[in-house]
Chain A
């Protein structure tokens, strides 16, 4: 059974710092991995999608990597800003069994960037 873990659960950094959020998963049979952002009281916004054949994706100050063999992904945020404060969730898309196509979510990392 696929499980997704995000460490740390919460992170507080000063503005301008570069930071890394971690995501690990137990089964490498995935289509892809997706990173989301959720602001308080809001829905989830897709940030980056990495296909299983890819190693990384970049969008602006965000860079996501994927090591499928080790079951790990990282989200790198460069030059953090207070507006980056949110909860970041990763999810893997299952590529096996009766739940093929399903997404399994981690519990998220709550990021706070202090001015």
Chain B
């Protein structure tokens, strides 16, 4: 079945540690990839997106993600996390064979300890 997988469900890091959150998808065809962040009690906000071109995309707040087509992956990274990065992170896919629909992974809860 087509899906978006985020294997890290809960991640706890100390401030200044490096972050990498995994995202794998199983949709065929051309895909557009997104990472969204949801701060406690808030709505989802776009962190970054990939449509084409350079597979390494940079987003807001120092986040970046790398699209590796051969691995069907779009992992999110940040070299040094801050306490304010504590949030839920969602990977999403919109593909040529998903119509207008966006499909989300199950989310990764990140807690950054000061």
Q: Do A and B come from one complex?
A: no
A residues lining the B interface (CB < 8 Å): none
